């Protein structure tokens, strides 16, 4: 009986085969695109709650809450940014301060996704002042929240740094002090 064994087209020593496999896998890693996300870093010593407002294909959306521990970062939106402006509202759970602004959007105290920014109170939501983040139409962006006087961000030099207002400046009930924000 005659045995026929298949013969490889070429033979590589084991070490060369390992180097080739390693080289091909590294080449594959190099072709992976960089992450393009909207991230937020909490560079404070306390826990913060984050709420985000943005415009998608169907209109305005606000979402919350992401809870970030001290000196940590979180990706709030994954993928390339599709808008230039995003809006953030953050609460310092430990000291009672907030990062807020004049762009009023709907929010609530518990986890939420809300479509639309109109008639917040009439729809049973809170009306909250978010601060604007101008990404300059970049594909990725990171916001840095810092405490007053803190100059040591966690990551990405040059990203916006926001400082925490003095303790006690947040009105009761978690609503920004602006006309029309009182609950009925």
Domain extents in the chain: 38-174
Residue spans of the chain under pLDDT 50? 3-10, 12, 17, 20-22, 24-33, 151-184
Specify the pLDDT at position 148.
72
- Strand runs labelled E in 10-140: 38-42, 48-56, 59-68, 72-77, 85-92, 98-99, 103-107, 112-115, 126-134
The DSSP result for 139-184, as a single string, is: S-EEEEEE-TT----SS-TTS-EEEPPPTT-SPGGG--SSTT-S--
Taking a C-beta distance cutoff of 8 angstroms, is the pair 75, 108 a contact? no
Q: How many Cβ atoms sit within 10 Å of the Cβ of residue 61? A: 17
Strand partners, 1: none
Specify the pLDDT at position 36.
77
User: What's this model's pTM, rounded to 2 decimal places?
Assistant: 0.65
CA angle, 156 then 133 then 122, to 5°? 140
Specify the pLDDT at position 149.
57
């Amino acid at each position: 009986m005659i045995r026929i064994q298949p013969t490889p087209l070429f033979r590589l020593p084991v070490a060369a085969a390992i180097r080739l496999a390693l080289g091909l896998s590294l080449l594959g890693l190099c072709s992976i695109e960089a992450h393009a996300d909207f991230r937020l870093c909490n560079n404070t010593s306390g826990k913060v709650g984050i709420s985000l407002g943005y415009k998608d294909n169907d209109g305005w959306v606000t979402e919350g809450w992401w809870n970030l521990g001290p000196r940590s970062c979180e990706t709030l939106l994954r993928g390339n940014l599709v808008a230039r402006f995003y809006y953030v509202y953050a609460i310092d759970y430990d000291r009672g301060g907030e990062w807020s602004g004049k762009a009023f959007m709907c929010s609530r105290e518990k986890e939420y996704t809300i479509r639309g920014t109109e008639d917040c109170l009439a729809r049973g939501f809170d009306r909250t002042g978010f601060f604007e983040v101008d990404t300059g139409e970049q594909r990725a962006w990171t916001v840095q929240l810092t405490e007053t006087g803190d100059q040591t961000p966690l990551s990405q030099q040059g990203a916006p740094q926001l400082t925490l207002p003095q303790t006690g400046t947040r009105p009761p009930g978690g609503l920004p002090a602006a006309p029309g924000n009182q609950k009925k």
